Amino acid sequence: MEILGMLGSFIGVIPGIILYVVLTRINFYGSIAAIVMYYGAVGGYHFLIEKLKKKDYDEFQERKSRFNTITRENYSAFGMVFSTIPGIIGVYLAELINFILDLKANNPGVPIGKITSYAMENIFSSEYPYLVYGVISCGLIVFSAGVLVYQSWKMKKN
């Protein structure tokens, strides 16, 4: 089942990458799409696992009402940590695509292969302001760690 979650995590990042490239092409603040990529990865991981496997009611407690929470959840620390990785890769790929499109617009005579290799080498250099997305990715990692600690604490309490 973990492989299905990994696949869903990578599929969940794709809309965030497309959204990021579209937002930056129309000169809109695109870093919000980095958060969309992260939540797409987390949602994709859990969506495929939950929808494609048969729910074992021994794992879950039935809800007493609509507003009560489940005390034991089908929670996986691996899933939370792993879904951060496609989010970070998605931020990098989206920024790389955006950087390649910017370079291609400024240098129309240069072949796309040379532009791509140049962009991959220099995307995090100090002369380009793309390091902000590295900081956003680190923030997502810290958020993931916080969620892991909270969920572990909540599960130990119950």
3-state secondary structure 26-41: CCCCCCHHHHHHHHHH
Tokens of 76: 């996986």
Chain segment 95-128, per-residue pLDDT in tens: 888 888 988 999 889 998 999 898 888 877 756 5
Check residue 73 and give its pLDDT: 54
Task: Specify the higher pLDDT residue, 34 or 70.
Answer: 34
Alpha carbons 76 and 60: distance in angstroms, whole number: 14
SS3 assignment, position 153: helix
Task: Specify the higher pLDDT residue, 8 or 60.
Answer: 8
Question: Position 97: which residue type?
Answer: I
Chain segment 47-101, per-residue pLDDT in tens: 777 776 655 544 444 444 444 554 445 556 667 677 778 887 887 888 888 888 9
Check residue 114 and give its pLDDT: 92
Q: How far is CA 65 from CA 6, 62, 68, 69, in A?
A: 32, 9, 6, 9
Check residue 65 and give its pLDDT: 44
Check residue 131 and give its pLDDT: 61
Structure pTM? 0.65
Check residue 111 and give its pLDDT: 92
Check residue 55 and give its pLDDT: 55
The band of 35, judged by pLDDT with boundaries at 50, 70 and 90, is confident
Mean pLDDT over 138-154 rounds to: 77
Mean pLDDT over 30-34 rounds to: 70
